[in-house]
């Protein structure tokens, strides 16, 4: 779908789901998790904060008399900083609105608020991160309308990528803009920092990418904000939507994007594209993840810890053959990808929470150095009749696996003050509780369970003969069996008679060989079960025909 610049803004809203409506979370040490979501109450949009940690569990609604659109949150030590904005206005009503940065303490109090402005532009902050020294980096769009009337009577949007650094106390240290003329529009921004470098991922649509959407990667020095590199990666004739990025401990950067495939004027498929960078410069490798024909994979978030990358998203599919009205039928499942290094993919998990919750996605993931991985997402449009809902509640898992409570909150607590406090405590909620929104979206938070790989042996069985007259003595040899790591500790042989399943145990122990004499005519299957020292098992068998 080739994008005309004049329709960029509209298409962005229609074709690219905004992150604003999806929860974001972050965790520093694995024991505390912060989650951010937008929340509508009394016709006004607010920021909904959920916190669980040693200092307590609570939920807060942050907002006021005007709409607030929370976008991203980062945990800094025991605090959290979230960013957002005040939404958009039409050309006629346009007023330059600032971006919003708020620091919250573990007790739920506001440490400070900052409103960030740039000349006569509105600021839409979309992503925030922090370095180990507690400095805060945020990025977003600064934009305004062009006064020139376009054919059709509308006004184009002019903007630039706006990135800045705040100290931990909220002092502005530097701010930078990146722009391209004559046409440019950036959205879907994300940000990450490592080793004195700051990477900003933005969405570019303009002549440099043939007027298709493409990921734009900007590299800044964290110390002075100097631009070190800026690159656009595009596929001619294709839109590629950037989603998120993060560094691992070595400085390897993973940028997750997704790429729709159009045919006949409608989207037929969407695949995930991962790009890997080891610093300002070209990428190392790209990886595609596809669900095959008619599936829609979306990468929403990337989080790294150590050398692990986790990419959360959604996998939707539609009936085959596709129904023209696919929105009525498509089913979205939570998707979680796990990579170590930039290749190969080590695990792809298509998470299905429940058959009865058939439309869900993982919008955010936070991996921590303590190997705790948090995920959050939403369920949509689950039939009321099939869902037990405890309204206005949420629940969080702790690393111990024990369900902990989070407070509940109610709409009337959202007043006109800048910070509306919900009840500070609530009784523990039972497992299965969740948060319900007016639009029938349900929120969940979960914790990823890992299992360490148990290497399975590849069994191989050879025989001195596979047929002959009775009595037939056959030597079996499984010494050709192998295992990737560790060693094979036992070989258990078993002789199965005919098709009945009746069997005669053979030898069992460290010897890979076995001798058996078949005294009766018939068909036999001799199977060896091999065990590795890590507990993995593999088996092989042979059919012996005795006449």
Partner 1 sequence: MLSRLAILVPLMLLCACAGNSRTPDRERAIPSSSQQLSREVPAFPETGPIAEELSTQIATTAVPDGIDDELWQQLCAALQDAVADRPAPPASPGPALFALDSRSASFTPYGTQNMVRDLRLSGSGPWRLSWTYRNSGDYDLNGSVTISDLTPVGKHFGRRQSDPLWFAAMHADGDGNGEVNISDVTVIGQNFGGSITGYAVYGTDDMSGEWTHLGNATVATNLHKNSDRLRFVIRLDSLEFNSYALWPYDNSDDEGGWSNPAAQGTAPDRSIRGIRSVLGE
Query: Which span (81-89, 125-133, 168-176, 272-280) binds partner 1, by CB under 8 A?
Result: 272-280
Nearest to 138 by CA among 96, 90, 91, 172: 172
Residue 488 Cβ vs partner 1, minimum distance, rounded to whole Å: 13
Angle at the Cα of 241 from the Cα atoms of 332 and 346, rounded to 5 degrees:
65
Residue 293 Cβ vs partner 1, minimum distance, rounded to whole Å: 4
User: Cα(first)–Cα(last) distance of the chain, in Å?
Assistant: 68
Binders of partner 1 among residues 359 to 388 (CB under 8 A) are 375, 379
Closer to partner 1 by CB, 395 or 472: give it.
Answer: 395
Kindly state whether residue 197 participates in binding partner 1, applying the rule CB under 8 A. Answer: no
Buried b (16+ CB within 10 A) or exposed e, 29-66: bbebbbbbbbbbbeeebbbbbbbbbeeebbbbbbbbee
Kindly state whether residue 288 participates in binding partner 1, applying the rule CB under 8 A. Answer: yes
Interface with partner 1 (CB under 8 A), residue from 459, 495, 544, 546: 459
**How many whole angstroms separate alpha carbon 185 and alpha carbon 241?**
12
Binders of partner 1 among residues 311 to 340 (CB under 8 A) are 315, 320-321, 334-338, 340
Kindly state whether residue 527 participates in binding partner 1, applying the rule CB under 8 A. Answer: yes
Residue 245 Cβ vs partner 1, minimum distance, rounded to whole Å: 15
Three-class SS state of 8: helix
Residue 7 Cβ vs partner 1, minimum distance, rounded to whole Å: 22
Residue 376 Cβ vs partner 1, minimum distance, rounded to whole Å: 10
Q: What are phi and psi of 11, to 5 degrees?
A: -70, -35
Closer to partner 1 by CB, 147 or 325: give it.
Answer: 325
Three-class SS state of 34: strand
Kindly state whether residue 230 participates in binding partner 1, applying the rule CB under 8 A. Answer: yes
Residue 16 Cβ vs partner 1, minimum distance, rounded to whole Å: 18
Closer to partner 1 by CB, 135 or 312: give it.
Answer: 312
Kindly state whether residue 31 participates in binding partner 1, applying the rule CB under 8 A. Answer: no
**How many whole angstroms separate alpha carbon 285 and alpha carbon 289?**
13
Contacts with partner 1, 97-136, as mask; x by CB under 8 A = ----------------------------------------
Interface with partner 1 (CB under 8 A), residue from 295, 380, 413, 507: 295
- Classify strands 467-468 and 537-546 as parallel, antiparallel or unpaired: parallel
Note the residue count of the chain: 547
Three-class SS state of 209: helix
Contacts with partner 1, 462-501, as mask; x by CB under 8 A = --------------------x-xx----------x--x-x
**How many whole angstroms separate alpha carbon 186 and alpha carbon 141?**
7
The two tokens of residue 351 are 């998470």
Closer to partner 1 by CB, 172 or 320: give it.
Answer: 320
Residue 258 Cβ vs partner 1, minimum distance, rounded to whole Å: 11
Query: Which span (21-29, 145-153, 323-331, 426-434) binds partner 1, by CB under 8 A?
Result: 426-434
Quick count: other Cβ atoms within 10 Å of Cβ 211? 16
Element (H, E) at 408: none
Quick count: other Cβ atoms within 10 Å of Cβ 396? 24
């Amino acid at each position: 779908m080739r994008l005309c610049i004049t329709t960029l803004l509209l298409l962005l809203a229609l074709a690219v789901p905004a992150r604003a409506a999806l929860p974001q979370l972050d965790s520093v040490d694995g024991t505390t998790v912060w989650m951010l979501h937008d929340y509508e109450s009394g016709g006004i949009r607010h920021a909904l904060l959920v916190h669980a940690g040693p200092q307590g569990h609570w939920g807060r609604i942050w907002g006021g008399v005007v709409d607030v659109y929370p976008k991203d949150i980062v945990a800094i030590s025991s605090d959290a900083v979230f960013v957002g904005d005040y939404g958009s206005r039409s050309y006629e009503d346009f007023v330059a609105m600032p971006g919003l940065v708020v620091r919250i303490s573990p007790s739920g109090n506001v440490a400070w608020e900052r409103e960030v402005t740039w000349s006569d532009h509105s600021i839409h902050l979309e992503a925030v991160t922090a370095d180990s020294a507690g400095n805060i980096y945020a990025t977003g769009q600064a934009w305004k309308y062009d006064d020139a009337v376009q054919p059709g009577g509308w006004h184009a949007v002019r903007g630039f990528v706006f990135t800045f650094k705040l100290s931990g106390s909220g002092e502005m240290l530097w701010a930078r803009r990146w722009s391209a003329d004559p046409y440019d529009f950036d959205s879907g921004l994300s940000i990450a920092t490592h080793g004195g470098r700051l990477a900003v991922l933005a969405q570019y649509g303009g002549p440099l990418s043939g007027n298709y959407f493409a990921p734009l990667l900007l590299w800044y020095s964290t110390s002075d904000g100097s631009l070190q590199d800026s690159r656009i990666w595009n596929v001619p004739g294709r839109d590629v939507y950037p989603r998120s990025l993060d560094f691992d401990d070595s400085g390897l950067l993973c940028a997750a994007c997704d790429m729709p495939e159009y045919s006949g004027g409608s989207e037929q498929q969407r695949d995930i594209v991962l790009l890997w960078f080891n610093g300002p410069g070209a990428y190392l490798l790209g990886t595609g993840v596809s669900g095959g024909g008619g599936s829609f994979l979306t990468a929403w978030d990337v989080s790294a810890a150590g050398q692990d990358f986790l990419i959360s998203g959604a996998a939707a599919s539609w009936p085959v053959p596709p129904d023209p009205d696919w929105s009525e039928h498509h089913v979205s499942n939570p998707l979680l990808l796990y990579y170590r290094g930039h290749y190969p993919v080590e695990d792809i998990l298509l998470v299905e929470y429940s058959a009865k919750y058939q439309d869900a996605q993982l919008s955010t993931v936070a991996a921590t150095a303590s190997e705790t991985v948090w995920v959050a997402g939403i369920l949509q449009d689950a039939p009321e009749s099939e869902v037990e809902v405890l309204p206005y509640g949420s629940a969080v898992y702790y690393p111990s696996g024990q369900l902990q409570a989070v407070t509940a909150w109610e709409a009337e607590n959202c007043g006109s003050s800048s910070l509306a406090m919900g009840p500070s405590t609530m009784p523990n909620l039972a497992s299965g509780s969740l948060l319900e929104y007016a639009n029938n979206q349900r929120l969940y938070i979960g914790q990823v369970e890992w299992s360490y790989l148990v290497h399975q042996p590849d069994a191989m069985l050879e025989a001195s003969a596979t047929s002959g007259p009775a009595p037939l003595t056959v030597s079996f040899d499984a010494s050709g069996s192998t295992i990737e790591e560790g060693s094979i500790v036992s070989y258990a042989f078993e002789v199965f008679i005919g098709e009945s399943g009746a069997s005669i145990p053979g030898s069992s122990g460290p010897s890979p060989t076995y001798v058996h004499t078949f005294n009766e005519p018939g068909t036999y299957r001799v199977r060896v079960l091999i065990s590795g020292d890590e507990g993995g098992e593999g088996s092989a068998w042979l059919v012996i025909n005795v006449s």
